[in-house]
Structure 1
Amino acid sequence: MTGLSFSGVSGVLVLGAYAIIMLLIGWWAGRGTTSSSARSYYLAGGGLGFVALFFTLYATQYSGNSIVGYAPEAYRSGFSWWQSVPFMVAVIAVYLLFAPRLYVVAKREGFVTPTDWVRHRFGSGKLIVLVAILMLWGLANYLLEQLVAMGQGIAGLTGATIPYEIGVIAFVLVMLIYSWSGGMRAVALTDVMQGIALLVGVGVLLFGALYLVGGDVAGVTTALADTDPEKVAVPSTTTSVEWLSMIVLIGFGASVYPHAIQRIYAARSERTLKRSLAVMAWMPLLTTAVVFVVGIVGTQIFPGLSEDDSEQLVGMIANEVAGINLFFYLMMILLFGGVVAAIVSTADSALLAFSSVVSRDIYGRYVSPDAPEKRQVLVGKIAGIVAVAILLVIAWNPPGTLYDIFVLKFELIVQLAPVFVLGLYWRRMAAGPAFWGMLAGAVIAGGLTLAGVDDFGGVPGGLVGLAVNVVICVLGSLAVGRPDDHPSEDPLAPEARATAPAS
């Protein structure tokens, strides 16, 4: 069976079906819930079980950039992009370092937003504001990335039948409707749907791509070595340093995403959280590695693509695979919807976290401290709509490739790592040095990025800023000693552990 592709009416029908499913999930998730309660709306009442928590963590880590963006990066960079697998493993390693410990404190204290930990641990108003600003920047950047991926994914997977702009607007409306209706519960349930579709679809995409090149993986590598030897060459020292730097940068940066931290809060129990993270440790091999191979195989299916054209590589390969036979066509429908749903689900996670920071940490703390939770949640929802509207304007002319946007947000968001990781383990860490370290790190990282300075032998500006950040935190805390005006006891003291859920 040949000639099958995701274009015209078939592409529109598939997208429409997934949109309807997401809307129904949002409606069903919102039934009988107290959406006016901040904890219910933003954390699903702290009751996510193993399946929902695993898939919502999976959707947080594997978003539009890891499917639509990573294969093109492998296409352009070659085998040096294998670094994408170990840096996804590093994210789980850092999660395991601090997430279970943070969960116990969050459950005991009733945390809702990521800055609640900063308030509990350090009690510094200026540090809380700085953390909130960096989080909002990171979330806005992350959301912009998903909007760009959404448009490119829809355009590529439908053969441009649905234009970039129309695809973005349509699915943004779907996202706003179901996330408004069901909050975190709706987001988590849509994550389950897209996660299953994505895992199955990406696996079949790999088999289909290999089928198109005759199943000869060695032949693909040999052909690539003949046509573009730089892509299979031993990486230079600079590339190797860059590889290691990205593992550290993304390992710590992705693990302190505001929406990732909220998923830690939303777990039903510490045991549920640990089980979910244990399974997540296998996902880089089942997702990122598969996408990497698809990108390499794509060099033989569509040789010579420009940078802009290669951004739609996944959709182009999916269309070719769909034409093999009916089975592959049906599986590509699954992938087709899964990719779009993955992008939308990741975007709604970022939007939910953005709304929570605005409603609780800005409006609820500084603008109207006496406002009831219902009004705070409403303000957060409206702020999310305004943010999306502004980002949509930017998304019409996206500033660079998905990978460029992806790296940019990590330069600043990674500066949050010391207050979450070091702050959980080092009792002596003080608020003042934490503030000045974070501020210095953010200014250095942002300045180097904006100036385009990259003279550190492959080390990104974000890690240079993080190094300065940590040095100021450590030396400053040692110099000032333990503050007398704020409790600095171990947040997991015996009395805290006594009230923690059993694992």
Structure 2
Amino acid sequence: MELAFSGTSGILIMLFYGVIMLLIGVVTFMKNKKVHSSLEEYYLGGRGLGTMVLFFTFFATQYSGNTVIGYSAEAYRVGYANLVTVPFFIMIILVYLVFAPRMYRLSKKHNIVTPVDWLEMKFKSKAVSILAAILMLYALGNFLLEQLIAIGQGVAGLTGGTVPYQAGVIFFIVIMIIYGWLGGMRSVAYTDTMQGIALLVGVFMLLIGTIIYFGGLPAAGDYIRTYSPENLGVPEGGGLVRWTNFLILVGIGAAVYPNAIQRIFSAKNERALKRSLTQMAWMPFLTAGVVFVIGILSYTAFPNLNVEESEQIVGMMASAIANENIIFYIAMVLLFGGIIAAIVSTADSVLLTFSSIISKDIYGRYINPDATDNKKILVGKIIGVIAVGFLLMIAWNPPGTLYQIFVLKLEILVQVAPALILGLYWERSHARSVFAGMLIGALVAAVFTFASLTPLGIFSGVWGLIINLMVYVCGSLIFGKAPSVITEKNVLEGKNTTQPIR
């Protein structure tokens, strides 16, 4: 009996998950027809996400196509050095816990909808707000491009090429836009819950099947030792510097994803937020750790794959295991849908946040301040679809591996972190110094990235962050006034929140 994903079976799986996503959007819209009349309702789900839904929507934001597909492929290519993926996901949770509770309290008190809202309230600086919005939009566009590519790679790999890369991308993008338009954040959060359960079960079944049919880590270790010994050792010297770079770049950069911050704003209460983040602390081991092991075990199943072929290693493993046993076939069906739904769910949250920054922070704040919430939402939707169309043209012939694309966006996004996080705690923060640091840091990161410069082995984004912080801190010490008019106590009590900080 032929159990591998192919032909009709692959198409049916795609249709099944696509229909579920559409139904979620329709049901959400029917239950809350006022979703399009309020920015808070559409972009934050009415600030009503409980612990479980909040956990899964954080999970979907953190672990998407680049985790399951991209990181397994990277582990296959570089070996044990890719174990760094586990600690840097732990680092993300630690950074969340530093700023998320305090930022949540501010958002609840002052009806903050986007991260730029917080910066505007804190610094009262048009320059800071616009620059931060531009950097966030760049990162979100990059992140969305990554998900579009991951959708195509996932469909092509898991169906053995029966469903073409381009067809998979178009199908799921249309589905995503429809249910996102219908239900906003609530649709996104509910699809996140569905995909999270399917993904976790499927990934663990893939790991079990890989061990049963292709051997465990000892067998993979023997193969690596024989044919690729350079991938077996622990990083030393430059490798350790590289690990440190990733801990800083990913740990801080991924924690300030605008779509992740909007999940903080969407929490029902502070208790739900803290509980969801506490539960997320286990996920680096149960997701990134498992994905890493699958990538290593793939050595024995599919040796000598080139870079392009290795990008589809998860799909190849799933198809091979599905062909062995009916139970694993069913599990791989679940995994297939889980992976694709995970990628789509991450893409829809990115698109939603992209639209919110366009509609509220650009259009609503500077172009048409008198526009109704309904009109702002419509403008955000239209610009979002135009952006998807543009990115789709790029994704048609992807410019690099998922891993390379992932790193590029963080180099720029991490430059927003000092303003977002340090601004929460340091009362002396000076608006012009914040702007100068963010701008110079972003320019340094961009120039170093495109010129492939890594002085002392330090990544371009980390160099940008170091210079960014130096300008921010030194400028604030010299020009800032202490104490600032906005402290957490004053903000929460509603005092002195309209006077600008200079």
Assess if the C-alpha contact under 8 Å between 1:104 and 1:497 holds in 2.
Answer: no
Secondary structure, aligned partner of 2:456: coil
Aligned to 1:232: 232
Once the two structures are superposed, residues 295-314 of structure 1 have per-residue CA deviations (whole angstroms, 9 ceiling, x without a partner) of 00001100000000000000
Secondary structure, aligned partner of 1:31: helix
Give the CA deviation at 1:227.
1.2
Tell me, which stretches of 5 or more residues in structure 2 are unaligned? 496-502
The amino acid across from 1:252 in the alignment is I
Write out aligned runs for 1:189-228 (5 A): 189-214=190-215, 216-228=216-228
For residues 225 and 385 of structure 1, do their structure 2 counterparts lie closer, same or farther at Cα, with a shift above 3 Å needed?
A: same
Assess if the C-alpha contact under 8 Å between 2:105 and 2:492 holds in 1.
Answer: no
Give the CA deviation at 1:495.
4.7
Q: Which shows bigger deviation, 58-67 or 222-231?
A: 222-231
CA distance, structure 2, for counterparts of residue 169 and residue 143 of structure 1: 14
For residues 489 and 316 of structure 1, do their structure 2 counterparts lie closer, same or farther at Cα, with a shift above 3 Å needed?
A: same
Aligned to 2:160: 159
Residue 124 (str. 1) matches residue 125 (str. 2): yes
Q: Which shows bigger deviation, 122-131 or 23-32?
A: 23-32
Give the CA deviation at 1:494.
8.1
Aligned to 2:326: 326
Aligned to 2:173: 172
Number of aligned residue pairs: 493
For residues 246 and 200 of structure 1, do their structure 2 counterparts lie closer, same or farther at Cα, with a shift above 3 Å needed?
A: same
CA distance, structure 2, for counterparts of residue 71 and residue 449 of structure 1: 24
Residue 44 (str. 1) matches residue 45 (str. 2): yes
Aligned to 2:473: 474
Aligned to 2:23: 24
The amino acid across from 1:59 in the alignment is A
Give the CA deviation at 1:258.
0.5
Give the CA deviation at 1:497.
9.7
Residue 12 (str. 1) matches residue 11 (str. 2): yes
Report the RMSD for the aligned CA atoms in angstroms: 1.3
CA distance, structure 2, for counterparts of residue 496 and residue 240 of structure 1: 46
CA distance, structure 2, for counterparts of residue 226 and residue 380 of structure 1: 55
Assess if the C-alpha contact under 8 Å between 2:47 and 2:266 holds in 1.
Answer: yes
The amino acid across from 1:377 in the alignment is I
Q: Which shows bigger deviation, 33-42 or 190-199?
A: 33-42
Secondary structure, aligned partner of 2:359: helix
Aligned to 1:148: 149
Once the two structures are superposed, residues 114-138 of structure 1 have per-residue CA deviations (whole angstroms, 9 ceiling, x without a partner) of 1010011111000000000000000
The amino acid across from 2:473 in the alignment is V
Give the CA deviation at 1:456.
2.5
Aligned to 2:69: 68
CA distance, structure 2, for counterparts of residue 16 and residue 141 of structure 1: 27
Secondary structure, aligned partner of 2:488: coil
CA distance, structure 1, for counterparts of residue 403 and residue 359 of structure 2: 30
Residue 425 (str. 1) matches residue 422 (str. 2): no
Aligned to 1:501: none
Secondary structure, aligned partner of 1:3: coil
Aligned to 2:347: 347
The amino acid across from 1:133 in the alignment is I
Assess if the C-alpha contact under 8 Å between 2:109 and 2:492 holds in 1.
Answer: no
Assess if the C-alpha contact under 8 Å between 1:101 and 1:492 holds in 2.
Answer: no
Assess if the C-alpha contact under 8 Å between 1:121 and 1:488 holds in 2.
Answer: no
Secondary structure, aligned partner of 2:300: helix
Write out aligned runs for 1:300-379 (5 A): 300-379=300-379
CA distance, structure 2, for counterparts of residue 217 and residue 373 of structure 1: 55
CA distance, structure 2, for counterparts of residue 93 and residue 67 of structure 1: 22
CA distance, structure 2, for counterparts of residue 415 and residue 270 of structure 1: 27
Secondary structure, aligned partner of 1:339: helix
The amino acid across from 2:311 in the alignment is E
CA distance, structure 1, for counterparts of residue 147 and residue 373 of structure 2: 29
Give the CA deviation at 1:217.
2.1
Secondary structure, aligned partner of 2:262: helix
Give the CA deviation at 1:211.
1.1
Once the two structures are superposed, residues 160-215 of structure 1 have per-residue CA deviations (whole angstroms, 9 ceiling, x without a partner) of 1110011101100000000000000000000000000000000000011111223x
Assess if the C-alpha contact under 8 Å between 1:430 and 1:483 holds in 2.
Answer: no
Residue 79 (str. 1) matches residue 76 (str. 2): no
Tell me, which stretches of 5 or more residues in structure 1 are unaligned? 499-503
For residues 473 and 306 of structure 1, do their structure 2 counterparts lie closer, same or farther at Cα, with a shift above 3 Å needed?
A: same
Aligned to 2:404: 404
CA distance, structure 2, for counterparts of residue 14 and residue 3 of structure 1: 16
TM-score normalized by the length of structure 2? 0.96
Residue 464 (str. 1) matches residue 448 (str. 2): no
For residues 3 and 29 of structure 1, do their structure 2 counterparts lie closer, same or farther at Cα, with a shift above 3 Å needed?
A: same
The amino acid across from 1:466 in the alignment is L
Percent identity, please: 52
Assess if the C-alpha contact under 8 Å between 1:220 and 1:300 holds in 2.
Answer: yes
Q: Which runs of 4+ in 1 moved over 4 A?
A: none
TM-score normalized by the length of structure 1? 0.96
CA distance, structure 1, for counterparts of residue 74 and residue 335 of structure 2: 20
CA distance, structure 2, for counterparts of residue 184 and residue 495 of structure 1: 26
Residue 491 (str. 1) matches residue 488 (str. 2): yes
Secondary structure, aligned partner of 1:456: helix
The amino acid across from 1:256 in the alignment is V
The amino acid across from 2:468 in the alignment is N
